[in-house]
Amino acid sequence: MTAASVEEKPIEPPADTAPHLLVVDDDRRIRDLLARYLRENGFRVTVSADAGEARNALRGLAFDLIILDIMMPGESGLSLAETLRAESDVPILMLTARSEPESRVEGLELGVDDYMAKPFDPRELLLRLQNILRRRTPQDETPDEIRFGDCVFNVLRGDLTRGGELVKLTDRERELLRQFARAPGETIARHELLGDDAHGTDRAIDVQINRLRRKIEVDPANPVHLQTVRGRGYVLYVD
């Protein structure tokens, strides 16, 4: 990850319900760039320069995921990961400048969830974070169906009706509605809506959302149900 990877722009404060990440890396430049990039993409972020600072942060806060560098002065990331895994099941994604398979295997044997070597592509990091958090999200909380206006979406079958009439959906539109059904009334960041498409862009998501709006909104230009949250993503308001 380089300075050019992060576009300088005002950051919208993340929602209080956004996933809270702990970034542990002794390289201040990497720490700051990573924290800014993640905040721009809707995460809450706390940073620590070493294992000691991380332990202090963990005593006072609960985190949804930890991004942990292996090579740090003093206690290594592997040592911290071993302690954390003995105490909790908080997801851990490890970062390292080393490419030896031994370090990767050692981290995975400790029970970390994923592993990335520096330098890395920020988009790939976002996708990996999304996948980890998705795996940790209880799926039994998703309702069988959601209703909004005169629309009903059956989550299990993937069927959408509007005014009792079946609406034809693409596979991508069906998946988007399922994502919104898992978090009704909550903002979902654009990078989360990309799913597993590592080559997707924010513009692609905007186009897909506009197409979906034409199928569910009375006035797609002034949506009531599927709304934009500026600088963060989209939210679907259900009945």
Token reading at 119: 């330098």
Average pLDDT over residues 50-71: 92
Task: Write down all domains in the chain, each with its CATH number in brackets.
Answer: 3-136 (3.40.50.2300), 140-236 (1.10.10.10)
Place of tokens 């940073």: 47
**Tokens 């319900």 correspond to what residue?**
17
* DSSP summary character for residue 157: T
Mean pLDDT (whole number) for 93-107: 71
| pTM of the predicted model over 0.95 | no
The token pair at 178 is 């399922």
User: Are 20 and 66 within 8 A, CB to CB?
Assistant: no
**Which amino acid, one-letter code, is at 181?**
A
Other beta carbons less than 10 A from residue 51's beta carbon:
23
Average pLDDT on 56-84 reads 91
For 141-194, write each residue's pLDDT tens digit: 667 889 999 999 999 889 999 999 999 999 889 999 999 998 888 888 888 887
